[in-house]
Amino acid sequence: MAAQKDGAPLWERLERPAPTPRQTLSPQRIATTAVAVADAEGLDAITMRRLATELGVAPMAAYRYVSGKDELLELMVDHVYAELELPPATAGWRETLRAIAVRTRELMLHHLWLGQLPPSAMLALTPNRTAVSECSLRAMTGEGLDPDTAMAMATTVSSFIHGMTGSEIAMRQVMAGQGWSDEQQVYTSLAPQLTYLLGTGRYPSFSRYIHEGRCKNDPGWQFETGLEYVLDGIAARISAS
């Protein structure tokens, strides 16, 4: 993650007093503007020059706050994660992890570009994103888990969220790219390949799912069901510890 000339990380710099009493820019305004562009056009539309144009400022003005696109993405991620309402501290571990999972999926589907982040932004530590991890780990305090096990469990839930929702976002992007409004159109486009593969007789279990599955077009059901299986596994491990 990039930093300005003094070597301090983004979040330390932003907590310092403003350098001048009157400014047309602020981290909040920069993030709000960049998020609006990404929501409408995707991450490819985000450049420092485009940002300056949308803000109506000189091309170099935003560099007072962020050193480039990597830090701009960090600012955007933190901005939207502020929308995620965290469960109260009194909630149990399962209620907490489940609420975070469901709300994170909703957040990602509202801001589809969250599923397109480059590795540097995926790994970025921001205040609001770190607060989510803190909430998850705090909820598991008192379950007799060592810190490594608690983090492994929280990370497993997080990986499930991003894996399942990332696939859902990919489906939406394929549909948007083709101008399709219905998932059935995606399956229709895959029909020739699917017909051939199933016709070989080598995939009987997958064939049964295709012919008998009733929730193929219900990503919400798939997410909720898979999440319960993950949480059941964590509950079993906690009970056995």
Chosen domain end from 80, 96, 119: 80
Chosen domain end from 80, 102, 123: 80
Q: Say if 3 falls within a structural domain.
A: no
Q: Say if 31 falls within a structural domain.
A: yes
Per the structure block, which two tokens stand in for 230? 């993950």
Query: Sorting pLDDT into bands at 50, 70 and 90, what band is 230?
Result: very high
First to last CA, the chain: 38
Shared domain for 210 and 104, answered yes or no, is: yes
Helix (H, G, I), strand (E, B) or coil at 219: helix
Mind listing the pLDDT tens digit for each residue in 109-155? 999 999 989 998 988 899 999 999 999 999 998 898 999 999 999 99
Instruction: Count the alpha carbons within 13 Å of 68 in the hemisphere toward its beta carbon.
Output: 8
Collect contacts of 147-156 with beta carbons under 8 A, ≥24 apart.
149/237, 149/241, 153/234, 153/237, 154/97, 156/230, 156/234
Q: Say if 2 falls within a structural domain.
A: no
Shared domain for 76 and 115, answered yes or no, is: no
Chosen domain end from 80, 104, 133: 80
Q: Say if 112 falls within a structural domain.
A: yes
Shared domain for 56 and 145, answered yes or no, is: no
Mind listing the pLDDT tens digit for each residue in 17-51? 665 544 678 999 999 999 999 999 999 999 999 99
Q: Say if 4 falls within a structural domain.
A: no
Mind listing the pLDDT tens digit for each residue in 177-222? 888 888 788 888 889 999 999 999 999 999 999 999 999 889 999 9
CATH number at residue 225: 1.10.357.10
Count of Cβ atoms closer than 10 Å to residue 27 Cβ: 19
CATH number at residue 61: 1.10.10.60
Q: Say if 225 falls within a structural domain.
A: yes
Mean pLDDT to the nearest integer, 66-81 = 96
Q: Say if 5 falls within a structural domain.
A: no
Shared domain for 37 and 156, answered yes or no, is: no
Shared domain for 67 and 29, answered yes or no, is: yes
Shared domain for 189 and 155, answered yes or no, is: yes
Shared domain for 229 and 112, answered yes or no, is: yes
- Tell me how many domains the chain contains: 2
What is the extent of the structural domain holding 38? Answer: 10-80
Shared domain for 140 and 236, answered yes or no, is: yes
Shared domain for 216 and 122, answered yes or no, is: yes
- From CA 50, how far away is CA 33, in angstroms rounded? 10
Average per-residue pLDDT for the chain: 91
Shared domain for 186 and 96, answered yes or no, is: yes
Backbone torsions φ then ψ of 166, nearest 5 degrees: -60, -40
